[in-house]
Amino acid sequence: MKLKMIHENYNVADLAASLEFYEKALGLKEVRRNEAEDGSYIIVYIGNELSEFELELTWLRDKEGAYNLGDEEFHLAFRAPDFDAAHKLHKEMGCICFENEAMGIYFIKDPDGYWLEVVPGA
Identify which of 97, 88, 41 has the alpha carbon closest to the alpha carbon of residue 69.
97
Note whether residue 69 is domain-resident.
no
Angular region, 27: left φ>0, alpha ψ -120 to 50, beta rest: left
Other C-beta atoms lying within 10 Å of the C-beta of residue 59: 19
- Give me the tens of pLDDT residue by residue for the chain, a chain 122 residues long: 898 999 999 999 999 999 999 999 999 999 999 999 999 999 999 999 999 999 999 999 999 988 888 877 788 999 999 999 999 999 999 999 999 999 999 999 999 999 999 999 97
Q: How many domains does the chain have?
A: 1
Does residue 68 sit within a domain? no
- 51 is a domain residue: yes
- What is the CATH classification number for the domain harbouring 26? 3.10.180.10
Supply the pLDDT for residue 66.
86
| Residue 104 resides in a domain | yes
Question: Can you give the pLDDT at residue 94?
Answer: 98
Query: Residue 40 falls within a domain, yes or no?
Result: yes
Q: Which domain holds residue 82?
A: 7-61+75-120
User: From CA 90, how far away is CA 86, in angstroms rounded?
Assistant: 6
Does residue 2 lie within any of the structural domains? Answer: no
Residue 70 lies in a domain: no
Confidence at residue 26, expressed as pLDDT on a 0 to 100 scale: 97
Q: Flag whether 67 is in a domain.
A: no
Say what the pTM is.
0.91
